Amino acid sequence: MITKRIIPCLDVRNGRVVKGTKFKDIKDVGDPVELAKYYNDQGADELVFYDITASYEDRDIFLDVVKDTAKEVFIPFSVGGGIKSIEDFTKILRAGADKVSINSQAVKNPDLIKKAASKFGSQCVVLSIDAKKVKDSYNVFINGGRKDTGLDVFKWAKKGVNLGAGEIVINSINTDGVKKGYDSDLINKLSNIVNVPIIASGGAGEAKDFLDVFKNAKADAALAASVFHFKEIKIPDLKKYLNDNGINMRRND
């Protein structure tokens, strides 16, 4: 039976993994390649790297991180942050990543999803959506959660999948960084609407949050950063807990 996936997320700036709350109070977490190896040994099912730098010089450092990781870590990993074109896809996939995730640029230029899917296959194209509750609906936000596009999250997700996205990362701005659990209502609704794997993001604080998002919101994978980085939750313990509670996990590696 296919397992649910646990995915640590590594935000990379100037060649280091960092973590902050809403771009403030940035803390250094460690060397990305070492951390990737550590999570691989701990039993992470997949990894995500986000490039949170802006300048061109830093992008090259970031690509080297991707290359070095691919030499030593033999589990799937995806890369996101600032992807604008098919050329960006090519560079990242050549550096050894398996998937590329796109967010703001996909909203601005939906054709990028279609082009990337037809060139590299849908399995390479991850649509990342930042969602925030506005009155009674969920809207798509872009530019690091600063701009409300007015787009309905569910309509956008459906359109993204029709254009060729093979997976969706759904990040709830309301629950992100709060550590009070994933936005199960949002994720559950999305699970019922699209037929591609869904990765829940934003809000993991304790083991039962993972259980809730897998069991009640039907997520296929759960992404988290700080609870893993600061060792508040250890992946082997988490997987044991989930397994004991009826969630199928890969635990033999």
Partner 1 sequence: MIAIIDYGVGNLESVYKALESLGFESKITRNIDDINKSDAIILPGVGAFKDAIENLRNMNLVNPLMKNIKKGKPLLGICLGMQLLYEESLEDGKWKGLGFFKGSVVKFKGDVKIPHMGWNNLNVLKKDNITKYINENDYVYFVHSYYAKGEYNDLIATTDYKVDVPAIVRKGNVIGMQFHPEKSGKVGLSLLKAFGEMIK
Catalytic (active-site) positions: 11, 130
Does residue 94 belong to the site contacting partner 1 (CB under 8 A)?
yes
CB burial of residue 182 (10 Å; 0-12, 13-18, 19+): buried
Does residue 2 belong to the site contacting partner 1 (CB under 8 A)?
yes
**Residue range at the interface with partner 1 (CB under 8 A); choices 49-57, 70-78, 130-138, 225-233:** 70-78
Does residue 195 belong to the site contacting partner 1 (CB under 8 A)?
yes
Q: Which residue's CB is nearer to partner 1, number 97 or number 233?
A: 97
Does residue 206 belong to the site contacting partner 1 (CB under 8 A)?
no
Q: Which residue's CB is nearer to partner 1, number 53 or number 78?
A: 78
Least distance to partner 1, CB of residue 59, Å:
19
CB 165 within 8 A of CB 113: yes
**Residue range at the interface with partner 1 (CB under 8 A); choices 105-113, 128-136, 140-148, 191-199:** 191-199
Position among 121, 180, 185, 245 found at the interface with partner 1 (CB under 8 A) = 121
Position among 88, 167, 176, 183 found at the interface with partner 1 (CB under 8 A) = 167
Does residue 220 belong to the site contacting partner 1 (CB under 8 A)?
yes
Does residue 196 belong to the site contacting partner 1 (CB under 8 A)?
yes
**Residue range at the interface with partner 1 (CB under 8 A); choices 25-33, 53-61, 139-147, 245-253:** 245-253
CA distance 214 to 188: 10
Least distance to partner 1, CB of residue 190, Å:
13
Does residue 247 belong to the site contacting partner 1 (CB under 8 A)?
no
CB burial of residue 170 (10 Å; 0-12, 13-18, 19+): buried
**Residue range at the interface with partner 1 (CB under 8 A); choices 28-36, 69-77, 102-110, 135-143:** 69-77
Would you call 124 helix, strand, or coil by DSSP?
A: helix
CB burial of residue 72 (10 Å; 0-12, 13-18, 19+): exposed
Within the chain, residue ranges assigned H as helices are: 32-42, 56-72, 86-94, 104-108, 111-120, 153-163, 184-193, 207-215, 226-229, 235-244
Does residue 236 belong to the site contacting partner 1 (CB under 8 A)?
no
- Quick one: angle between helices 111-120 and 86-94, nearest 10? 40
Least distance to partner 1, CB of residue 41, Å:
10
- Which residue, chain included where needed, has tokens 């990342």? 128
CB burial of residue 54 (10 Å; 0-12, 13-18, 19+): exposed
CB 39 within 8 A of CB 8: yes
Does residue 120 belong to the site contacting partner 1 (CB under 8 A)?
yes
The footprint of partner 1 (CB under 8 A) covers 1-3, 5, 40, 45, 70-72, 74-76, 93-94, 96, 98, 120-124, 166-167, 195-197, 220-221, 250, 252-253
